[in-house]
Amino acid sequence: MTGRATPGPTGPPAPGTGTGTDVLRCGPYVLDRARIAGFAAAVGDPHPAYTDPVAARALGHPDTLAPPTYLVTLAAHAEDQLLRARPDLPGLDGAVHRAQSLRHARPAHAGDVLHATVRLADVAHLAGRRLLTLDCAFHDADGLWVATTTSTLLCRPLDPTGSEHP
């Protein structure tokens, strides 16, 4: 099946703020049964569709179903790559993951090959710290939108001169 890429609810990637890389394409990420099952076990979800392809197919899925939050692990990898490409954003060591949201077009499954487009959507300030917002859109091998994660990270404090505290 060939399809046109459809942007997620946030639309196509747009330039972020600051200098450096604002958008980065990552992947492919190949979803496999063992990692999906390991994630389900780690979060304590015993649903058989996460570990048994027969149970997943009985529910109408093509293969083992990934828990809805599974893509956060892939998004974290893509976000990390983007932020490493941004030397103008000090204070990332020790950053606190403040919030995460997910929007799904469809569930992810074992056998999916996904590509991520991560972008720095916003750089704001909160209580003397940078507050970064990152969007990570996942598309399948046909270019169709699967899901988008949005993360906010609160960076280490900045002193009044704009440099970091040690």
- pLDDT digit string, tens, across residues 47-99: 999 999 999 999 999 999 999 999 999 999 999 999 988 888 776 787 888 99
- pLDDT at residue 166 greater than cutoff 80: no
For 117-153, the pLDDT digits (tens) are 999 999 998 888 889 999 999 999 999 999 999 999 9
pLDDT band with cut points at 50, 70 and 90 for residue 159: low
Helices (H), the chain: 33-42, 53-58, 71-84
Taking 80 as the threshold, does the pLDDT of residue 16 lie above it? no
Structural domain span for residue 89: 29-157
Q: What is the domain count for the chain? A: 1
Q: What is the pTM of this model?
A: 0.81
Residue 21 falls inside a structural domain: no
Evaluate whether residue 15 is within a structural domain. Answer: no
Res. 3: pLDDT tops 90: no
Is 131 among the domain residues? yes
More confident residue, 19 or 91: 91
Question: Is residue 5 domain-resident?
Answer: no
pLDDT band of 18, cuts 50, 70, 90? very low
The verdict on residue 22 lying in a domain is no
Which amino acid does the sequence have at 29?
A: Y
How many other CB atoms are there within 10 angstroms of residue 42's CB atom? 10
Cβ atoms of 113 and 28 within 8 Å: the answer is: yes
90 found inside a domain: yes
Q: Answer whether 95's CB lies under 8 Å from 154's CB.
A: yes
Residue 3, domain member (yes or no): no
CATH for 70: 3.10.129.10
- State residue 163's pLDDT score: 55
Cis peptide before 28 (omega within 30 of 0): yes
Does residue 8 lie within any of the structural domains? Answer: no
Residue 165 pLDDT greater than 90, yes or no:
no
Give just the sign of the alpha carbon dihedral 156, 157, 163, 166: negative
